[in-house]
């Protein structure tokens, strides 16, 4: 089985722009979670989607949004980018998001200038 | 508020010796704990987990210990190998809820040959 894939792998944007990141989960996995990793902060939970519905949300401003498509692929959008949004954005998938292990993608490295 | 804390940002150990990585948590509702390993340019990979009904779980060279009264867990790697050099994240969640995992800030382990 192919693993979790994320595109693009690297991205450079300027303040005020918006960005869309994509995540394709492992085939058959219906739960997709997004995390932000920054130095000193570890991985911080953004949100989790299952069957096109957001089931869980972390403590991030409304500039961070996401969606999930019927094929379980997910996108994350950040609007009005700030310098502090520079981070590694990780996507993880699991079968149904309850109890089993998550499998992570390699992440998208976003740099905001 | 960092509910899962890894107070040691880095750790160096000689090959063949024991590596002990520590993690503390503050939320008494957490009842399932996980360790992930992360190599550069890759997403975290699941290593080992433990339920709060246990105080020890072993998988090959990796053992996780849980002290609920102290809200403390540790990962022991014996013997340590150079390939174990990576960032280790401790994580916790509340069972029964949807996938919302709280991660620590990570400990970078270097195993010196």
pLDDT recorded at residue B87: 96
Q: How confident is the model at residue B110 (pLDDT cuts 50, 70, 90)?
A: very high
- Tens digits of residue pLDDT in B24-61: 999 999 999 999 999 988 899 999 999 999 999 999 99
Q: Between chains, do B99 and A97 touch, taking CB under 8 Å as contact?
A: yes
CB contact under 8 A, A101 and B49: yes
Is residue B66 scored above 90 in pLDDT? yes
- Residue located via tokens 């399932």: B32
pLDDT tens, residue by residue, A31-59: 999 999 988 778 999 999 999 999 889 88
Work out the pLDDT band at B100, boundaries 50, 70, 90: confident
- Chain B residues in contact with A40 by the CB 8 A cut-off are 105
- Cβ(A2)–Cβ(A103) below 8 Å: no
What dotted CATH number matches B4-112? Answer: 2.60.40.10
Contact A75, A66 (CB under 8 A): yes
Interacting residues of A47 by C-beta distance below 8 A, sequence separation 6+: A33, A34, A54, A56, A57, A58, A60, A64, A66
Interface of A to B at Cβ within 8 Å reads 4, 31, 33, 35, 40-45, 48, 50, 55-56, 58, 90, 92, 94, 97-99, 101-107
Inspect the interface and report whether the beta carbons of B100 and A90 lie closer than 8 Å: no
């Amino acid at each position: 089985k192919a693993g979790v894939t994320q595109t693009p792998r690297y991205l450079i944007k300027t303040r005020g722009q918006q960005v869309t990141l994509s995540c394709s989960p492992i085939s058959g996995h219906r739960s997709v979670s997004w995390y932000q990793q920054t130095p000193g902060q570890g991985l911080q939970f953004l949100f989790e989607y299952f069957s096109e519905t957001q089931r869980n949300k972390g403590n991030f401003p409304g500039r961070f949004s996401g969606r999930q498509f019927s094929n379980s692929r997910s996108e994350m959008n950040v609007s009005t980018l700030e310098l502090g949004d520079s981070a590694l954005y990780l996507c993880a998938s699991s079968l149904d998001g309850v109890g089993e292990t998550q499998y992570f993608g390699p992440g998208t490295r976003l740099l905001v200038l | 508020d960092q509910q899962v804390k890894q107070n040691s940002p880095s750790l160096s150990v000689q090959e063949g010796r024991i590596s002990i990585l520590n993690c503390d948590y503050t939320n008494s509702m957490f009842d399932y704990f996980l360790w992930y390993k992360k190599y550069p340019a890759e997403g975290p990979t699941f290593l080992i987990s433990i339920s709060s009904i246990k105080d020890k779980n072993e998988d090959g060279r990796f053992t996780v210990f849980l002290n609920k009264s102290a809200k403390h867990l540790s990962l022991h790697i014996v013997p340590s190998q150079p390939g174990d050099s990576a960032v280790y994240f401790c994580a916790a969640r509340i069972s029964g809820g949807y996938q919302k995992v709280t991660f620590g800030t990570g400990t970078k382990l270097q195993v010196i040959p």
